[in-house]
Amino acid sequence: MTVFDRLVDQAWPAAHVEDAHGWRLRYAYGVTKRANSVWAAAEPPDPAAAVAAAERFYFDRGLPAVFSVSPWSRPAGLDGLLHGRGYTVADPTLVMTADLAADRPVTREVEVADAPSGAWLDLWWSVDGRGPDALPAATGILTGVPAAYATLGDSVGRAVLQGDWLGVYCMATAPRARRRGLAREVLHALLNHGRAQGARRAYLCVTERNTAARALYAGSGFAPASRYHYRVRARA
C-alpha cells in the first residue's frame, strides 16, 4: 500500500465508507471523484466479485462506479480488469512532494485559520465547485479532519498535518487575480505553517493537464513522486 493512497484517503474524508472485499468504498453524495471512489487497498479473494459489489454500491446511490487506480492498487491487474468491463480513464493525476527543511519566502500577510470562513468557501467553490447544492457536502469533506485554511486576497488553500507529512489541497485563485503571485504566497504560507508544526515533507495532487499549477509547484520545490487516475463506468 502506498503511503499516498492512505494520506489522501485520510485528508479528504468521505461521508460514508464501507469496507468490502478488502477495498474501501467511499461515498460523499457525488461531490468529487476522490470522495466517491473505490480505494483498492488490498487483494480481494475474487476480483470480479469485488468489482461487481462496488458497482452495486455506487449504482444503488445513483452514481457511476469510480475506481482510483494507482501503481499500488490491488490486484495488480485491476486497471486491465476495469478496462475490460468498459471503464474509461479520467483525470490522470500526479502526486508531487517537497522537502520542508527550510521556510519558503512569504512577502505578503497571508491569513491562516483553523476553519474555513464563508468568504474562503465562496472563493474556493467559485473556482472548483460543482453547483451551490453540493457545497454543504463539500464543506463536510473539508472540515472532516483538522486543517489549516490560508487566504490572501482572491487566493486560498488548505493544508492537513499528517504526522511527518503535510497535505496541500484546494489551491484556488480567482481568474481575475491570477499571475500576481498570490497562489505562491498562499502555498508558501501553508508549507511554513506545517513545518512549524513538525511536518518534514509535503505532498499535493495535481492533474497532469494543469500545466500552470504544475509549474507553480515545481517552482516551489515539488517534484513528481507517484501518479494515479480514475476508471469510470456509468450504469449499463
Q: Per the structure, how many domains does the chain have?
A: 2
Model confidence at 39, pLDDT cuts 50, 70, 90, reads very high
Asked if the structure places residue 155 within a domain, the reply is yes
Say yes or no: 188 and 138 in one domain.
Answer: yes
pLDDT, tens only, 1-16: 479 999 999 999 999 9
- Do 195 and 107 belong together in one domain? yes
Q: Could you tell me what percent of the chain has a pLDDT over 90?
A: 95
In the chain, where does DSSP find H-type helix?
3-11, 47-59, 78-84, 118-128, 135-142, 182-196, 211-219
* 77 lies in the same domain as 107: no
pTM reported for the whole predicted model: 0.95
Enclosing domain of residue 171:
102-199
Whether the per-residue pLDDT at 33 is higher than 60: the answer is yes
Residues 137 and 165 in one domain: yes
79 and 125 fall within a common domain: no
Task: For residue range 191-200, list pLDDT tens digits in order.
Answer: 999 999 999 9
Domain assignment present for 148: yes
145 and 171 share one domain: yes
Average pLDDT over residues 220-229: 98
Contact 191, 171 (CB under 8 A): no
Angle in degrees, 0-180, between the axes of helices 182-196 and 211-219, rounded to the nearest 10 = 50
Query: Is 66 a domain residue?
Result: yes
Same domain as 114, residue 169: yes
